[in-house]
Amino acid sequence: MAVKLTAYSHGAGCGCKLSPAILGEILSGSASPFYRGLLVGNENKDDAAVYQIDEKSAIISTTDFFMPIVDDPHDFGGIAATNAISDVYAMGGTPLMAIAILGWPVNKLSSQTAKEVLEGGKEACERAGIPLAGGHSIDAPEPIFGLAVTGKANLEHIKTNGMAQPGDLIYLTKPLGIGMITTAQKKGYADEEDLSLALKSMLKLNDLGAKISQCPYVHALTDVTGFGFGGHLLEVLEASEVGAEIHAEHIPKFPFVDKYLKLGAIPGGTQRNWDSYGKKINFQYGMGDHRLLADPQTSGGLLVTIHSKFKDDFEHTLSRLGYKLSSFGQITAGPVNRIQVIN
């Protein structure tokens, strides 16, 4: 009988992250003190830490782990690893190696199942061209897996979430809706075709980040995970001291989103996210559906802002790399730290 990992966890993927509000309370007053060489710490809630090692290069360090987002152990390991490695790409870097983090309920799930999780993680690392070089494990009440990842970057290619500028165009490299389909799966009414589409997306590396970071007209870069698109865009706005305007009908989403919205497949994390930052998102005429903006993503896409003058160049570069994307919003001078959603 096949193991269903999601039955052993109370949360799913990045949806089990602490809410932005609670995390903000925990981190309040704990911004990284000055250390010579530390270029990016935790002051702006960026994707990873960056430490300069010489005149031209820096080391990137990050960690990410969570509870099962899918039932298959191998897929769970692959998704968790892909998600963790993404933080390095989101800083404009390339990964060097990874260390595994495993929490396992040894009295509930077999060691063979844990081995399958690790194999999935190892395969994701191999696709990224890095070794899974070691790790640490504990006996835990629920299954947990992820990675600590070390990467590198040229100083001139490092991108942070605080580099957006007024007039920038906004792009997203993967569609939204992962939280909805995985919730539907846990409730037992997700279509296999939809699950397959979501799985393919979650297992896709965000190595695009390392490539586009070399374009000087690419400004801010971050990945979209448990706080949802709205939450991570707000982190960009707060770090950059700007605002944003997005077009609701053009936000990238999976074709199955409307179906699962009607079925009420809404993760608990959606409401926690909205309670944390909903007051900073304004809908035109006061009407709109916030659930897509706050939907927790696992191994989501890259949120990118670019100088509007280079729209054609950027989209041509994306096309050459296998992405067909269009802008659906822009960065504004104000209101600062606010998202305006228009039809």
Q: What residues act catalytically?
A: 14
Q: Count the alpha carbons within 13 Å of 223 in the hemisphere toward its beta carbon.
A: 32
* Residue 137 tokens, joined: 């494990």
* Residue 84 tokens, joined: 């963790």
Phi, psi angle pair for 35, to nearest 5°? -130, 130
Three-class DSSP category at 221: strand
For residue 95, say if its preceding peptide bond is cis, omega within 30 degrees of 0: no
Per the CB < 8 A criterion, the answer to whether 206 and 251 are in contact is no
Helical residues (DSSP H) of 32-72, grouped into ranges: none
Residue 196: name the closest of 207, 187, 204, 208 by CA: 204
Q: Helix %, strand %, coil % for the chain, to 5?
A: 40, 25, 35
